[in-house]
Chains A and B, each alone.
Chain A
Amino acid sequence: MANTLLLTVENQNPTLAIRNFLKSVLHDDTIQAILVPARQEGISTIMPCLIHDPALLDQADPLAPFFPLNAARLAARLSVKPVKGKMAFVLRPCEIRALVELEKLKQADLENCLLISMDCAGAYAAKAEIDSQDTIDIPDPNDAKLAPACRACEHFVPENADLIIGWFGVNPKEKIMIQAGTDAGMAILEKVARESGQSLSEAPSEREKTVAGILDLRMQFRDAMFAATRKAVDSHEKFTRYFERCINCYNCRVACPVCYCRECVFNTDVFDHEPFQYLQWARRKGAVKLPADTVFYHMTRLAHMSLSCMGCGQCSNACPNDIPVMELFRTTAFDVQNAFDYEPGRDRDEPLPLSVFREKEFTDVVGID
């Protein structure tokens, strides 16, 4: 299917070509603003920025390997109620997947926006700083310095995006491709092609092979990570030890894009224990470690989030004590999602398993057939 527009890259810098493309998107009357990772003046990192003035799209840098936060929550916030016109969101594949989950949780409305995503090489850990105002090269998708979450990620090609900025299968220093993923994306792409006098073509044949090659290495890394993590938590004692440095700062929860509660249950009266209760625990066991409820907190979050966890790794990025939170969440999520044959972000119409009632399910667990 001819759904791909190949853009010529100048100065061996694909970012410039992308900026130009985004400008032509913003030029469209229906698009009011674009949310895109950008370098802003006086700020030494890259942060999402909602850009209305096309000139300011020269700061956009969606391919930079920096991922300070998962922007799905921001996009959700911007989409949840209708505005006149549309906004375009330029998001990483994992951010779109998170956004799809948030839509299922009624925290976003994807009818109101245009989703643009890109082939994702991965990102370095959040705390890395950019050292120049220039764009930097796209990293090698198998670079060992990438964050572990990215190295274990199999969803580096966007799903559910209206438009895809692609470079797998082409040399991004020469060409970059824009691909339509939906009818809405196609309409825009056709318009841009018409205006620039280009024609649409099929995706380059190399693409499939490149993707398969990356996937192969990613799966190897992922499976090794699963094995190591399972071993690290295969008993109650080890599980507790895994979180021994946790101080209940709840940063992982704040960083999680799909942890959507307005107020976390761990901040409510449910865990607001009476002093007498602490004393009782101390009496019973001789001593009680404080803060209490650390393991309970993580188990609860596992219970709540492992069906929707898309493995963006922001929880690990956020941990001040470098607990490998992502590793455990992804490992657990993998099994839980398999059990329900569910994949977060795969399909907007696929209901959350907890909202689906099946009379016969897990008969071996519930003991009723």
Chain B
Amino acid sequence: MQKIPKETHTAYNALVVGAGISGIRSALDLAQTGCRVLIIDKSPAMGGLLKQLDFQFPSNHCGMCRMLPLVHRDRGGQFCLRKGLFHENIDLILSAEISSLSGEPGNFTVKIHEKPTWVDPDRCVGCGLCETVCPETVPDCFNEGISTHKAIYLPVPHAIPNPYVIDLAACTRCGACADICPTDAVLLSGADRKNFTILVVDDELSIRDSLKEWLEEEGFSVDMAASGAEALEKLKAHPFHLMLTDIKMPEMSGTDLLHAAKAAYPDLCVVMMTAYATVETAVEAMKTGAEDYLIKPFEPETLLPMVIRLYQDLEAARDREITAETIILGTGTSFYDPADKKNIFGYGIFPNVVTNIEFERLISHSGPDGGNLTRLDNGRPVKKIAWIQCVGSRDIQNNADYCSTICCMAAVKEALLAKALGEEAIETVIFYMDMRAWGKSFQRYVDTAVHDHQVRFERCKIHSLTLDEATGDLVVRYISTAGTAAEETFDMVVLSVGQRPADKTQNLSRICDLPLTGQGFPETLPFAGSRTPRDGIFAAGSAAGLRDISESLILASAASREARRFIRPKGEDGGASPSTSTAASDTRQIYRDVSREPIALFVGICTCAGRFDQWVDQEALTRYFSLDPEIVKISFVHQVCTADGWASLSKDISESRANRVLIAACHPYVFLKKIRKLSQTLGLDPSLIDVVDIMTPVFQAQAQEKNQEQAQDQTNDGKNGGQMGDNLFSRISQGAAALKQADPTVPQDMPVFQNVLVIGAGIAGMNASLSIADAGFTVDLIETTDRLGGNLNWLDQTIDGLSLRDLMEETIAAAEKHPCISIHKEARLTSCEGTAGQFHSTIETGGKQKQVQNLEHGAVIVATGGHEAKTTSFGHGTHPSILTQKALETRLHKKEITEGQIDTVVMILCVDSRKEPRNYCSRVCCPTALKQARQLRELNPETSIYILYRDMMTVGFSETFFTRARNDNVTFMAYPPETPPAVNTENDTLTVTLTEPVLKRPVEISADLVVLATGIVPELPDELANVLGIQKDQDGFFQEAESKFRPLDAIKEGIFACGIAHSPRSAGEAADMGRAAAQRALSLISNPAYVPDITIASVRHSLCSLCERCIAACPYGARMFDLEHTRILVNPLMCQGCGACAAVCPNDASVLPALSARRMLGAVDAVFERITAG
């Protein structure tokens, strides 16, 4: 966490709520285009849900870091995103929520409520000494309560920096942590609680007394009242923070007291106390202003945490006010709690029944058992696991008439991870209704699980889950599709719990005046999944419901693009707008050029309030460093982390006239902002200022020693002392050696062509073009046909009956009249040379008379779309009444099918799909079948409709249309892929035969129409892919750089894709994806010149032998052989500074100047430096 100093301005361009991947994506998008962003998250660590999930399919690895910016990397730390987020335009506040919102789009004022963690994150070095002395143990949220931690704990084990926090509800305030903390970071002090006043209202004296006693023991100030009237009097006399009141009291009831008190003192926090019988009254009271309720009789363990939570929320929390021009909600979702309500699966009762999130923790190396999958009752290895799908999803009783979208694939992944853990010996069974493998690579992933790893898929209804008392095993009874009952025993059962709106969505909705859907998710506009009905407030990722990682990131980028419209460009309003960050080119110029100066190194050492002297003799060290002619000054500072310490250090540095500065202190992250400021004051490039962490390892070693001490009760202090000193000294020497060799040359700017080429004018391409054009940049939109609109030319309406024609016409009109968009019809791209930021292309236009035009552009968006697949299966082409979904759509639109004309329709889904060679789900066909069924029923309510399917892919909220169709007596029959139905056209009558799945007997349906869902094939010609230098996947779709975390980017930097050229999707999703691709392109072209990052490779041509090994080694395609000048070129935008080229080059011709061999060798050599040598 980067704590924001008070003097930092509180005006931001955008506020992002939620620091999960969607929030991070939106924030990075905006930060990269120069906006100042504040991210807040209610939890004490960032990363959202993914901080708990180690592995994502299909790679079964983590890949969050792939979201990091590939350009302008210097402005953000290149750290693992599960550990932390660093960007000079982004501030992050954790444990914080919005408490109020006012103002209007473009000028919101937001109050942010920040919960205290009781540990100063700037000072805590994460050494863990406190943990060794804390006497209290509580369940660990990170591991879903499966393991425990102390009352002072790390919220996640891996964050950087990773300050401890205190669970105040569990803390006894014994003070042990504060005493042992080496940096005085623990801010625990009970004195403040005296100022927190509580009024206890109850007609029973014994209750009043015991409450008073409990609360006063915790340090609070408590007063009592025996009746409502007395309470009101006391409230009048003296302000109270919290009132605890009984509901059933003679004369004035607690509810009446609540109303009266709230009317007079709106800020008063009230908690209702009630006997079990009146819980409903208490719940009712909460709707009229009570904060919470307690059911009598209660123990201190119930009361105190609640009061402490309220105390933290009310008193100890800091509120800060910020302004933001726009707000993005990346609040994610929460999960269904299976312990709620009926709890038919014994969750929380049978120890080996876990949720999917708990299971993810159990198989994690950072999990409660270090990733050893053992039974939670007896610790024996798990040998057989069941997954039960759709727990709390597709469940009308639970107000969840939707599919949670992610659980099928998550379960398959978890099964494969379990298989890998158990070296394939673990038996895994997934009990499901429909296997929703709806994404590009999903079906093949499922097939792999079945064929290569023997994961069993059991389509069934679960009857019950019981416990075998003797063995502790779990018994699952189920009814298979054939209608037979079966029973199976498992060691562990994983409940794939469905998604729910994020916690406190209602609260957020109230604060932000956001309408919610019936299921409690924020509402969004049709065809713009990121736009809420409230102007200036956007939804990113799964906040608006049910998205997997890649779709969340796509929507997050779409949200940032839409939000950007509310951010005024720099200087437009005479400076009232918060300063969008200055382009790096401006700041670069203020740094003085030190490349010709002799090296003059300043070494500043924090003595950590004298602790440093325990290990190292200051005088000896000074003497030693004085020998080095390149070290101009050594300065010792009492405490660099304090304001005084920093000021005195800054003064020493400026006086020294050094051109390189080394600060030896603690966590470098703490100093990021200070260093940026210092570099501006000194006019010294920040790459010439470095912080080396000397104290953390010392503290950590001490904590380790402490732990060992507890184990063995013996110390070896004296022996370690010398080592510790050497270690400290060696770290400083390494830092000095490295910094001396830092490359002071300023990289050359690279001009960027600030326009974008968009290929394909369907809904995705047009939205991409409009988004870029609206941001003020020019677009060349090329289309191979003579009309815009793509597939919208034949699509009529959406499943919810919205007109796609209107959408097409509006979008075309907007694109055609936009001054920044040049439309080229009947055009094709014939060549595209160059690299990101600088492409030179040629397009050919015109039907007969060809015209050639040259274009310069900085980025490319591929939106070439796709079309319905052709088929000859099921007799298509042999009978006029066997038609595809597209043909039916056209006939319906042209009103060729009229009322009462058709009695029986059979729809066959997954025609030639989800099997090789087209082994993917096209996503749109199942909803289209439901839509067309509805349209046909509208024409003739008596029409019999049979839908023959494999798995109904009504993911997300489209599930509700599936439910509706079943209620409307549409007949659904599943067919297994190995025995598909057959269509017979003999005697000119159409019959469809198939084996009825339940009866297992052949049935024959005479049909008037047979509708085939053939799915989508992409339209991305090889020729175009070759011209662009991009790759296609095995089905011909655009191959993204990484399917989860970089879904829009080609492997070749500067090229992005959207729409169905990328993957099958609906019109609305394609439009959002167009916006998202536009945002990605804008990150690249927003500045006229690209200032290369410091850590990029270059070539020393005089040494280069042109062996081209570096070209083969570069994973980013950033290198090319310049035939004209016979030399190797590096594109500074594409180079990611990974150093593979430098490693493969034998003679240092290919180098990363920032990490030169001299620098690294110098640092390695310094490891062996010993102060005694002086």
Contacts and interface: CB of A to CB of B under 8 A. Distances in A.
Contact of A355 (B1113, B1169, B1173): B1113
Nearest to A263: B1103
A269 B1161 CA distance: 12
B1158 interface: yes
A265 B1174 contact: no
B1112 interface: yes
Given A261-B1105, A355-B1112, A355-B1113, A270 B1158 contact: yes
A105 interface: yes
Contacts of A355: 1109, 1112-1113, 1144
A261 B1146 contact: yes
A284 B1169 CA distance: 7
B979 interface: no
Interface in B1115-1174: 1115, 1144, 1146-1149, 1156-1158, 1161, 1165, 1168-1170, 1173-1174
Interface string B597-641: 000000000000000000000000000000111100000000000
Given A106-B1107, A270-B1158, A265 B1144 contact: no
B434 interface: no
Contacts of A289: none
A307 B217 CA distance: 75
A283 interface: yes
Nearest to B630: A276
B229 interface: no
Given A260-B1105, A262-B1105, A354 B1158 contact: no
A224 interface: no
Interface string A319-359: 00000000000000000000000000000000110110100
B1148 A304 contact: no
A106 B1161 contact: no
B629 A276 contact: yes
Interface in A235-279: 260-265, 268-270, 276-277
Contact of B1161 (A264, A270, A354): A270
A280 B627 CA distance: 9
Interface in A118-163: none
A304 to B, nearest CB: 4
Nearest to B420: A369
A106 B1127 CA distance: 13
A354 B1113 contact: yes
A277 B740 CA distance: 12
A107 B1105 contact: yes
8 contacts: A106-B1107, A263-B1102, A265-B1147, A270-B1148, A270-B1161, A283-B627, A284-B1169, A284-B1170
B1108 interface: yes
B1104 interface: yes
Contacts of B205: none
Contact of A106 (B1102, B1106, B1115, B1169): B1106
A53 to B, nearest CB: 33
B1146 A304 contact: yes
B1113 A261 contact: no
Interface SS of chain B: helix, strand, loop or mixed? loop
B917 to A, nearest CB: 25
Interface of B: 627-630, 1102-1109, 1112-1113, 1115, 1144, 1146-1149, 1156-1158, 1161, 1165, 1168-1170, 1173-1174
A276 B598 CA distance: 14
A359 to B, nearest CB: 10
Contacts of B1148: 265, 268, 270
Nearest to B1168: A284
A269 B1107 contact: no
Interface string A90-118: 00000000000000011100000000000
A111 to B, nearest CB: 16
A99 to B, nearest CB: 14
A284 B1168 CA distance: 8
A260 B1102 contact: no
Nearest to A303: B1146
A270 B1165 CA distance: 13
Interface of A: 105-107, 260-265, 268-270, 276-277, 280, 283-284, 304, 351-352, 354-355, 357
A279 to B, nearest CB: 8
Contacts of B630: 276
A264 B1147 contact: yes
Contact of B1173 (A265, A284, A304): A284
A156 B1115 CA distance: 39
A269 to B, nearest CB: 7
A269 B1149 CA distance: 11
A106 B1146 contact: no
Contacts of A106: 1106-1108
Given A105-B1105, A106-B1106, A106-B1107, 12 more contacts: A105-B1109, A260-B1105, A265-B1147, A268-B1148, A269-B1158, A280-B627, A280-B628, A284-B1170, A304-B1146, A354-B1109, A354-B1113, A355-B1112
A55 B1105 CA distance: 37
Contacts of A304: 1146
Contacts of A263: 1102-1103, 1147
Nearest to B1158: A270
A42 to B, nearest CB: 35
A319 B1158 CA distance: 29
Contacts of A283: 627, 1173-1174
A283 B1171 CA distance: 11
A107 B1109 contact: no
Contacts of A262: 1102-1105, 1147, 1149
Nearest to A279: B627
Contacts of A276: 628-630
A150 to B, nearest CB: 27
A369 to B, nearest CB: 10
Contacts of B629: 276
A304 B1145 CA distance: 9
Contacts of B1115: 357
Nearest to A105: B1107
Contact of A352 (B1109, B1147, B1169, B1170): B1109
A8 B635 CA distance: 88
A304 B1144 CA distance: 9
Nearest to A283: B1173
A261 B628 contact: no
A355 B1107 CA distance: 11
B1031 to A, nearest CB: 16
Contacts of A264: 1147
Contacts of A284: 1168-1170, 1173
Nearest to A354: B1144
* 3 A-B pairs closest in CB distance: A355-B1112, A261-B1147, A265-B1147
A355 B1115 CA distance: 11
Contacts of A277: 1165
Given A265-B1148, A354-B1113, A354-B1144, A270 B1103 contact: no
A355 B629 CA distance: 42
A76 to B, nearest CB: 11
A351 to B, nearest CB: 8
Nearest to B629: A276
Contacts of B1112: 351, 355
Contacts of B628: 276, 280
A265 B1158 CA distance: 11
A268 B1147 contact: yes
A351 B628 CA distance: 47
A260 B1107 CA distance: 9
Contacts of B1102: 262-263
A274 to B, nearest CB: 8
A270 B1109 contact: no
B1029 to A, nearest CB: 19
Contacts of B1165: 277
Contacts of A352: 1109
Contacts of A260: 1105, 1107
A87 to B, nearest CB: 21
